[in-house]
Amino acid sequence: MKNCTNLLFGLLLLPVLLFGQSKKAAKPNDRIEKLKAEAVAAVEANKVQAQQINDMLFSFAELGFQEEESFKYLTTLLEKEGFTIQKGISGIPTAWIATWGSGKPLIAVGSDIDCIPKASQKPGVAYKDPIVEGAPGHGEGHNSGQALNIVAVLAVKKLMEREKIPGTLMLWPGVAEELVGTKAFYIRDGYFKDVDACIFTHVGNNLGVSWGDNGYNGLISARFNFEGQAAHAAGAPWRGKSALDAVELMNIGWNFRREHLELTQRSHYVISDGGDQPNVVPSKAAVWYYFRERTYPKIKKLFETGIKMAEGAALMTDTKFTYDILGSAWPVHTNRPIAAAMYENIKKVGLPTWSDDDQLLARASQLELQAPKVEGLAVKLDSMGMPTSSAPVVMMGGQAMTPMGGGSDDIADISWSLPTIVLRYPSNIPGLPGHHWANAISMATPIAHKGIVYGAKAEAMTLLDLLLKPEILKEAWAYYKDEQTKDIKYEPLISSKEKPAIYLNKKIMTEFKPKLEPFYYNPSKYKTYLEQLGITYPTLRDDQREAVKKEVEKAAAKVSSSRSE
Ligand SMILES: [Zn+2]
């Protein structure tokens, strides 16, 4: 209800702004507010397009570096809308930059597009039910951000044309974000050198924005390739030098060392090549690590420790090794003045009005996944995120510890190169594990669709702020120069030699693409992807319905007992 009220209020305000000010000359801010109200109305009017883009990318379900269908679909759409497309940037076939407009400011608007291995899931179903068993799926929600950006940018573009507002809009995708594999290359190769500000969007559980150090870890993703000597594993094992032994010893070394690493590190690995068959001593084997830490020097140090483990393992097994850096990211730091402008707009937009069905799906999914809280979807806006350095410091053995770290996003490399913010929007269900099939449940349902539209409204308004209030960009650059990069200078974690690892995920997509193709969304035939799949929204088992009912009754009883006390 609240948001209908906001919209109504905006519409009621229009005539006041148009006529109420007629006696005096219209102030520049009144003009901006009027244009914002128009942009919000344009986004609302274009919500079917947002839903279609979202559902289409969901159905493609493409892993990092293999986003071929998403690439074709999005670049064709933007070409039709009058954008100039630069394809295959940084030597990445599925990467592109779309620009429209002329002159300054140049505002970049980006979002990721890749999905998660083995996360295929029917949307709107509150239990595991893959569209294609074992296939990739949008178990993070990267199918939604481009939909948000495109409808926001198109709304602003229309106003720029009519009002002759100078400036250039640049849309771009985060390719292979799950591999943190591209954005440092975009920066290294100069694609952002003239950009004045960047708004990035990422799926979340609330409409929000943060500034400063986001508390994330940065990382180096590296694969260690060991080479030994093949031999008959039973007939002449003494003639073999096992590359797999080296991989296992490196991992054992790392897991012992882990006890003596700082608590902020996160490191994990998969054995990406463990040999071919047991009776052949593996002459080749490989292990792929993510080394995550809170600062650039700590990331470098952690990686060097990893290299030492590999050296030790090679020495013990008489094997040789090389390593390849497959991805990298700095810890994210976002811009205060632009975040402040965005947050003002977020407050005007508010949160979507969720239906009973939306809440039922959310609660059932939270119960199914044993979420810490069974609270449904967000109904209260988050406050603006502050830098974690102002949060209480964790004390450990008398030592003040920095925040405990967590995931990474290579948007960081852009955020350290120019003023950047990340807008989170409420298209996912709170309390789910992340990188998991369950995080795909909401991603082609009314929950995702509403979250995108609300995010797009806040983004469109902020784009107008950036285009029409030069003081925001000035303050943004002052923050970037005088505060953010005063003591810390960006140094890439990749060198001029590294190339994007565009071969990753090729094998998996070759296997699954033909199986996913019959399920690609056809908007000319079906209003929504849910309709195409024949899914009743929401789909729950009987025991799930019962459990949600009990949970809601329990919560209601708690409220009434606390009132009676
Ligand atoms: Zn992501």
Average pLDDT, consecutive stretches of 10 residues, N- to C-terminus, the chain (565 residues): 45 46 65 98 98 98 98 98 98 98 98 98 98 98 98 98 98 97 98 98 96 92 98 98 98 98 95 98 98 96 98 98 97 96 98 98 98 95 75 56 79 98 97 97 98 98 98 98 96 95 98 98 98 98 97 87 67
Span from the CA of 437 to the centroid of ligand 1 (angstroms):
14
What is the reported pLDDT for 436? 98
Ligand 1 centroid from CA 314, angstroms: 35
Partnered with residue 30 across adjacent β-strands are none
Alpha carbon of 129 to ligand 1 centroid (Å) = 22
Cα(385) to centroid of ligand 1, in Å?
A: 18
- Give residue 318 CA to ligand 1 midpoint distance, Å: 40
Distance between Cα 116 and ligand 1 center (Å):
10
**CA–centroid distance, residue 185 to ligand 1 (Å):** 18
Instruction: Tell me, in angstroms, the distance from the centre of ligand 1 to residue 56's CA.
Output: 18
> What is residue 387's predicted lDDT score, i.e. its pLDDT?
72
Amino acid 394: pLDDT: 52
193: Cβ–Cβ under 8 A, 6 or more apart, which residues?
none
Whole-number pLDDT of residue 565: 58
pLDDT of residue 8: 47
CA 31–ligand 1 middle distance (angstroms): 36
Angle at 450 between CA 446 and CA 453, to 5 degrees: 140
486 C-alpha vs ligand 1 centroid, how far in Å?
28
Quote the ligand 1 centre to 111 CA distance (angstroms).
Answer: 9
532-565 burial code (b ≥16 CB/10 A, e <16):
bbebebbbbeeebeebbeebeeeeeeeeeeeeee
Structural tokens at position 532: 């195409």
CA of 34 to the centre of ligand 1 (A): 34
What's the CA-to-centroid distance between 145 and ligand 1, angstroms? 10
Ligand 1: distance of its center to the CA of 94 in Å? 17
Task: Give whole-number Cα distances, 505 to 64, 66, 284, 453, in Å.
Answer: 7, 7, 20, 31
pLDDT of residue 9: 46
Residue 476 CA, ligand 1 centroid: distance in Å: 25
Rounded to the nearest whole angstrom, what is the distance from the C-alpha of residue 456 to the centroid of ligand 1? 18
pLDDT recorded at residue 393: 54
Give residue 291 CA to ligand 1 midpoint distance, Å: 18
| Ligand 1 centroid distance, CA of 543 (Å) | 32
How far does residue 446's CA lie from ligand 1's centre (Å)? 20
- Cα-to-centroid distance, 26 and ligand 1 (Å): 42
Q: Which residues of 118-150 are buried (b: 16+ CB within 10 A; e: fewer)?
A: bbbbbbbbbbebbbbeebbbbbbbbbbbbbbbb
For ligand 1, the distance from its centroid to the CA atom of residue 159, given in whole angstroms, is: 30
Residue 434 Cα, ligand 1 centroid: separation in angstroms? 9
List the helix and strand counts (H, then E) for the chain: 16, 14
- What separation in Å is there between the alpha carbon of 176 and the centre of ligand 1? 10
Separation CA 155–CA 169 (nearest Å):
12
- C-alpha 112 to ligand 1 mean position (Å): 7
Ligand 1 centroid to Cα of residue 305, in Å, is 27
Output the CA 521–ligand 1 centroid distance in Å.
22
Q: Residue 557 contacts by C-beta under 8 Å, 6 or more apart in sequence?
A: none
Strand-pair category, 394-396 with 266-273: unpaired
Which position has the token pair 């930059």? 97
Q: How far is Cα 470 from Cα 340, in angstroms, rounded to an integer?
A: 15
- Cα 137 to middle of ligand 1, angstroms: 13
CA of 55 to the centre of ligand 1 (A): 17
Q: How far is the CA of 73 from the centre of ligand 1 (A)?
A: 20
CA of 425 to the centre of ligand 1 (A): 12
448 alpha carbon – ligand 1 mean position (Å)? 15
In 3-state terms, what secondary structure has residue 292?
A: strand
- Whole-number Å distance, alpha carbon 172 to ligand 1 midpoint, is 15
Q: What pTM does this model have?
A: 0.92
Ligand 1 centroid – CA 188 distance (Å): 21
Contact assessment for residue 338 and residue 419, using Cβ atoms and an 8 Å cutoff = yes
